[in-house]
Amino acid sequence: MAQVLYPKLAVIGGGLIGSSLIRAARAAGVVGEVAVADASERARERIVALGLADFTTADVAEAVKDADLVVFAVPVLAMGEAARAAAAALKLGATLTDVGSVKASVAEALVTAAPAGVFVVPGHPIAGTEQSGPDAGFAELFLNRWVILTPLKREDEPYLDAVQRLADFWKALGSNVERMDAAHHDLVLAVTSHLPHLIAYNIVGTAADLEEVTQAEVMKFSAGGFRDFTRIAASDPTMWRDIFVANKDAVLEILGRFTEDLQALSRAIRWGESDKLFELFSRTREIRRGVIDAGQESPEPNFGRDHRAP
Ligand code: NAP
């Protein structure tokens, strides 16, 4: 029998990630009581119907009362408001974490809202799908996926113990845990996740706006490449709007580099520099092999669900 790491878990936002976390934590036996606060009435109804929580409410303060672990699983720009709503009701010694896809601004929002005597340990599971809501969640979502924790620059023992306990929690859910500086996390994710989503949103938008090619043709002749982009571009609009607003600096920096490289590619195509094209396509094939070797792509695409984005 697994050890209960947190007698009471409170999750703020019981959507895809929040509900998956509850399912996984219960399956692993590492939490006792579970309370959920969600702003959406529909989500609350589904959370009750699915039997995900012992207590479901719209009131954040009510949910976090007596909780040992509070997980904020709302869109990135809603984190501050949710943390402020929780602040006065938090238990002394509780650990506050989140699952937001951007770390520096969310960490600042949590720290600003948190009262003294609670431990803020921001986090981000690199696991997800393009679905939203409690029904889309599943217990295996975090299995063999990375969770990045971005602890504060604190060296006191109670804080380090809280960080370790949270790392143990994620490991019990099947994840690998890495610690990272929040700003570095935002740069890494701008490359590996945020820019790819921006490209997908843009290419699908471009195809939709083309006048010479009809939308019916775009859908009918959707080849593998475009089809994959449409899956990514179907991701939740609120969540992605928030990510680009909250990670503006890192995304713009990487976008600048990307645009320069794209210009070089455009030149190579214009001037028939086939060696340059071949060299790049060979190099990128190696990177794909590296991703597979790193275990971040399985031969079976996980029942059709993508466990990596964003
Ligand atoms: P989701 O399925 O849309 O669930 C979020 C839920 O939180 C919704 O029911 C939403 O209600 C509710 N909510 C919004 N603001 C709230 C507030 N202030 N107080 C209480 N509830 C609130 O979202 P998700 O995909 O689980 O994403 C949650 C977080 O995880 C985001 O920060 C995202 O960046 C991060 N993340 C997502 C993925 C992914 O693949 N989806 C992967 C890793 C990390 P309304 O619908 O009424 O707003």
Query: What confidence score (pLDDT) does residue 1 get?
Result: 63
Q: Picking from 4-13, 118-127, 166-175, 208-217, which range would have the lowest pLDDT averaged per residue? A: 208-217
Centre of ligand 1 to C-alpha 134, Å, is 10
Count Cβ atoms below 10 Å from residue 193 Cβ, excluding itself.
20
- How does the average pLDDT of the chain come out, rounded? 93
Tell me if 152 sits within 8 A of 123, measured CB to CB: no
Position 305 pLDDT exceeds 60: no
Distance 247 CA to ligand 1 centre (A): 17
Q: Which residues contact 241 (CB under 8 A, 6 or more apart)?
A: none
Which tens digits make up the pLDDT trace of 68-89? Answer: 999 999 999 999 999 999 999 9
178 CA distance to ligand 1 middle (Å):
23
Q: Are 55 and 80 in contact (CB under 8 A)?
A: no
For residues 162 and 117, is the Cβ–Cβ distance under 8 A? no
Which residues 6+ apart lie within 8 Å of 235 measured at CB?
130, 197, 309, 310
Whole-angstrom Cα distance, residue 55 to residue 103? 29
| Pairwise CA distance, residues 22 & 34, whole Å | 8
Neighbour-count burial of 137, counting CB atoms closer than 10 A to its CB (0-12 exposed, 13-18 middle, 19+ buried):
buried
Residue 217: CB partners within 8 Å, gap ≥ 6? none
Q: Is the CB of 101 under 6 A from ligand 1?
A: yes
Inter-CA distances, 112 with 31, 32, 80, 123, 295, Å: 27, 28, 8, 16, 37
Please report which helix (H) or strand (E) contains residue 154, including its range. Answer: none
Coil, helix or strand for 277?
Answer: helix
Tell me how far apart the terminal alpha carbons of the chain are, to the nearest angstrom: 32
The model's pLDDT over 192-245, given as tens digits with 9 standing for 90+, comes to 999 999 999 999 999 888 877 887 888 888 877 888 899 999 999 999 999 999
Q: Which residues face 119 on adjacent strands?
A: 95
In order of their start, the domains of the chain are: 6-180 (3.40.50.720), 184-293 (1.10.3660.10)
**ω before 310 within 30° of 0 (cis)?**
yes
- Kindly state if the Cβ of 86 falls inside 6 Å of ligand 1: no
**CB count in 10 Å sphere of residue 203:** 16
> pLDDT tens across 30-69, in order?
999 999 999 999 999 999 999 999 999 999 999 999 999 9
- How many angstroms separate the alpha carbon of residue 38 from the centre of ligand 1? 9
133 Cβ closer than 6 Å to some ligand 1 atom: yes
- C-alpha Rg value of the chain to the nearest Å: 21
Tell me the CA–centroid distance for residue 109 and ligand 1, in Å: 16
Q: Is the CB of 82 under 6 A from ligand 1?
A: yes
